[in-house]
Chains A and B, each alone.
Chain A
Amino acid sequence: MRWWGAGWFGGNTLEFWAFDEGRANLARAAIETDAWKGAHGKMKVNFRIFPYEQMHDKLLTSLVSGKGAPDVADVEISRFSNFIKGDELPFIDLSDRIGDDINDVYKPAATDPWTWQGKIYGVGNELNTCVLAYRRDLMEDAGISTPFETWDDVVAAGEEISNNDRKMFALHDLAFGDHYMLSQSAGTAYFDDEGNYIGDNDRSVEAMQFLRDMVHDTGIAGIAPAVASDNWYPPQYRAAFRAEKFVALFGPPWHLSFLLTDVPDQSGDWTVQELPSGLGEGLPTANFGGTGQCVTTQSQNPDAAYDLVRIANLTTEGVVADFKARTAYPAYKPAYEDPALQKPTEYFGGQKLGQVYSDLAPGLPPFNQSTVWGQATEALNREVITPVMQDKKDAQTALTDLRATVEGMKQG
């Protein structure tokens, strides 16, 4: 029996760690299903929710020490790289257990981020298909034709819409997400399928330059409000949308969801579409974000632990429950047959977002993991995003210079 964590409560208990109440509810819903009760009715599941940083830090510590880790843990996409350093991985290879179910998921969202050297160590349920969203009413009032075919059309609309008090986009100068999405749409990534840095190629530079130009040349974008604790969409950012300082954005469903909760007054005025063409290959979507459930090697009940992961992520019942709870569009394909996912969304003018996302999902670019993914993206923020978006360095130089930094990481 182990001290705390997996197995501490004996063979009839699972320990589940999460950093988000909503995501913990995904697993809570799974243990309420008949499938779970039928197979593991007597099994108790302890849920522990910690703050994001603390949970990942505790998980690392307990896995390194060999004691105190949970059976199942949520691992956020940017933190997974920490767990694949070294010769031994602290998670169970789920590839065989997943088996043919792999054909029922959109891999770039469901398994790629938690896959290393061909083995799957985690499963995520969120389909992070990126789209362009904008205020349709404002575009109509300005006589702008939508949907947008190309980014040039978007820039032209932005020039029409933007003024001193209002900009088309809020672009981030402390977080790499905008560039990450647009570089994928341009047909590139930060790492190749062997984990080597390729972020300084022409398409990546083009995407970075385009972002910079929207702020400093065409003036259709402002810098997104951010704080240290949340450099993506803190309350100030949301408030700026509420105040109509920004009227368009591009991002995955989890990002768009703040509009429904924090900007309710604009319900019915927004619309979504695929990402426009014009940057590199001009792919219609990109993949951004995600959290996977991983089973630790310390688990005393790996079969039950995997069953929990499977029911939560690889069954219609599991993922639809999460969709109903927090509008998490699933990466599990069969779920899109469910009526709940075919309903029109009033906020987006009656669009069927489930249909939009599932139509785009097959075009998701693959995700290439690296042992330095987390470190490299933090370096990207420091050495590329901030200086380029603050107009202190040019995109080509910044992305080229980053190569030395990333390669230095790989050498230790």
Chain B
Amino acid sequence: METRSGENLATERQGGTAPKPRRGRPGGRGGMAPYLFVLPFFLIYAVFLIYPVLAAFRLSFYESSGFGGDTFAGLANYTRLLRDPRYLEALRNTTLYALASVFILSPLALLVAISIRSFVVPTATFKSFYRVVFFLPFITSFVVIALMFNLVFNNEFGLLNNALSSLGLPTLDWLRNERVALPAIILVGIWTYLGINALYFLAGLQNVPVEVIEAAAVDGAGRLQTFWRVTLPLLRPVILFVVVQATIFSYQIFEIPFLLTGGGPSDSTLTLAIYLYEVGFRQFDRGYAAAIGYSMAIIAIVLAAVQLLAARRFDR
């Protein structure tokens, strides 16, 4: 039996023959142990996520609305979506919310980030303070947010109506008026997510090389020109991330409208997620609810893909 001396071993390590990889024993390094360590996670993931997702997919092809057996319905639940006025109303409301997230929330968040980063907020202490202030809504419980905005929007003693009447403007019953209930929900959504999106942009802004900005200044570019021609193009990955994320999350919006208006009045704030819940639990139509869930997933995936493809084409 050949034994390797320490000298030989040292020679090998200093550039001689590369050491052969050690074969692990079962249960030793490179054996079963790592798999055993990650197994609990994958088991839980499979039981609580993968299985329900697959089961819901199967369910979406069945008529399953009561006690007793399910009957195969093919695409009936999916074709029903197109004929269901409440689903279309929910889709419309959710899309409006998503559009507001992309075209109002995202630019506002960028504006806030630039303000914190640049001359508007003068000192480092203030910058930290504003970071905290803008981030707080995002970590506040939705229930607390709903309670607070119930008071803000209250018809009789609400903050908003008090402010309006003190300015001599007409007041509104914000959460009970079909015309303004959705804008009110959008306003709460913007308030809630503005800070976190501003932080994404802030992180992006901090990654813009100072040298590039300085070079632009040397070349005679003004602040605005520098922003449009240097900063914004360099922020494109962050913008894409924020927009895609805002779109995906918008199509899942549930808590804020559910807690503030319950989807009312007369479905004016009904969202896809609230409708899914209603169909699944209040109407007890499980197959159709599963189809609504998958339609939400498909819409979010398609829109995200479109945004990513558009961004890629723009990059070229």
Contact = CB atoms under 8 A, between A and B. Distances in A.
Contact of B281 (A56, A86, A386): A56
Interface string A25-68: 00000000000000000000000000001001100100110000
A86 B66 contact: yes
Interface stretch (A192-200, A201-209, A334-342, A376-384): A376-384
Contacts of A382: 264-267
Residue among B63, B66, B67, B266 with max Cβ neighbours from chain A (10 Å): B67
B175 interface: yes
A227 B175 CA distance: 9
A39 to B, nearest CB: 30
A174 interface: yes
Contacts of B286: 64
A387 B267 CA distance: 11
Given A64-B286, A374-B282, A87 B264 contact: no
Nearest to A53: B281
Contact of A231 (B156, B178, B262, B267): B262
B67 A63 contact: yes
Contact of A375 (B261, B267, B282): B282
Contacts, number: 77
Q: Indicate the size class of the contact surface on chain B.
A: 20 to 34
B265 A174 contact: yes
Interface bin, chain A: 35 or more
B314 to A, nearest CB: 41
A85 B175 contact: no
Contact of A85 (B65, B260, B266): B65
Contact of B284 (A60, A174, A236): A60
B212 to A, nearest CB: 50
B67 A412 contact: no
B67 A228 contact: no
The 4 closest A-B pairs by CB, nearest first: A86-B66, A85-B66, A86-B68, A228-B262
Given A228-B258, A236-B156, 16 more contacts: A63-B67, A87-B67, A88-B67, A173-B265, A174-B265, A227-B175, A228-B259, A228-B260, A228-B261, A229-B259, A229-B262, A374-B282, A378-B278, A378-B282, A390-B265, A412-B285
29 contacts: A56-B281, A57-B281, A60-B284, A82-B284, A83-B67, A85-B65, A85-B67, A86-B66, A86-B68, A87-B66, A87-B68, A88-B67, A90-B67, A174-B265, A223-B176, A228-B258, A228-B262, A228-B264, A236-B156, A374-B282, A374-B283, A375-B282, A375-B283, A382-B264, A382-B267, A383-B266, A386-B264, A386-B265, A390-B265
